[in-house]
Amino acid sequence: MKVLVTGSAGFIGSAICRRLEDEGDEVVRVDVMLPQAHGATAAPDGTHRVDVRDAESWTGLLDGVDAVCHQAALVGAGVRVADLPLYAAHNDVGTAALLSAMHAADVDRLVLASSMVVYGEGRYTCAEHGDQVPGARRIEDLDAGRFDHACRVCDEPLGWALVDERARLDPRSSYAASKVAQEHYATAWVSQARGTAIALRYHNVYGPGMPRDTPYSGVAAMFRSSLERGAAPQVFEDGRQMRDFVHVDDVARANVLALRAVVGRTGFTAYNVCSGHPVAIGDVAAFVADGAERPQAPEVTGGYRAGDVRHVVASPRRAAEELGFVAEIMPENGLREFATAPLRA
């Protein structure tokens, strides 16, 4: 298979390229080398420096391509209103331009990097009163250390449950809104161009080659940076907020499985890409600290960031049943190894 990979020099994109080439596929590497992701690093050999927003720049690159694996995106929290134009330009316009170029080149198979952020909050349930959709947490509750959502009937803390791909989309940031838009563009393209698209909703991705201390780094990298400075990792809230952490090697494998699966099917389908083993953020900090050269016990601060979700944990079932994807690296092992893995400057 000949696959064009956008964002090929990035953390996830480069892992996908390596796996495809290891399996004998031909890879066309495309990356604009955004300074936010790469600093002043030169483009790797064989990389076409292309801005996905420029539809005319795709001339010739899509010739003979069987499928596109679209990883290029501006990422990060995107919590400021001022961030909206950047995310809309790189993620929304970039995806629309790519899909237009694919149609012109008669390429009708797409695997799209999406994210858990499309869900906003996770799924909540009360043991007595069932599933509920809570609103935003109140600042006065957070200030008082009441971090869990409360049942609207009995006022007891709501528990978390697994989110599957049928959950409503509820973006809470510029980045999240742009990821929802990418999925919607792909859905429209499938209908208009008679293409096939798979969106992979990544949960918290970590592993070797992750950027260090940039908007592209995640909380695990931040915990590691604290340890390397000789400081204790700082854990917000009570440390019991639940997430799913998935290793970049598993994410690369999920993309390759999706690229194989996109052949011979029709329509648009979304899949969670997760480990299937939920972990509390306090335990993430403890695992990273345990594997560090200079371990320090994490410090649970009780602080918070307004707008953060309490829990969001994915169901791995659809990806397992339809793609054959089951994560191989469990968080308790991968996060300990991550503590000393090579990172990108």
DSSP string, 44-82: PTTEE---TT-GGGGTTTTTT--EEEE-----S---SGG
Question: Residues near 138 by Cβ (< 8 Å), separated by ≥ 6?
Answer: none
Let me know if 166 is exposed, middle or buried by CB neighbors in 10 A (0-12, 13-18, 19+). exposed
Q: Give the phi and the psi of residue 90 in degrees, each rounded to 5.
A: -75, -45
Is-contact 131 125, C-beta < 8 A? Answer: yes
Question: Strand 279-280 relative to strand 242-243: parallel, antiparallel, unpaired?
Answer: antiparallel
Please list the active-site residues: 175
CA 134 to CA 172: how far, in whole Å?
Answer: 14
Of 271, 319, 96, nearest in space to 188 by CA: 96
φ/ψ of residue 188, rounded to 5: -65, -40
Could you identify the residue written with the tokens 């790469």? Answer: 38
For residue 306, the tally of other CB atoms under 10 A from its CB is 9
Distance CA 333, CA 318 (A): 24
Collapsing DSSP to helix, strand or coil, 142 comes out as helix
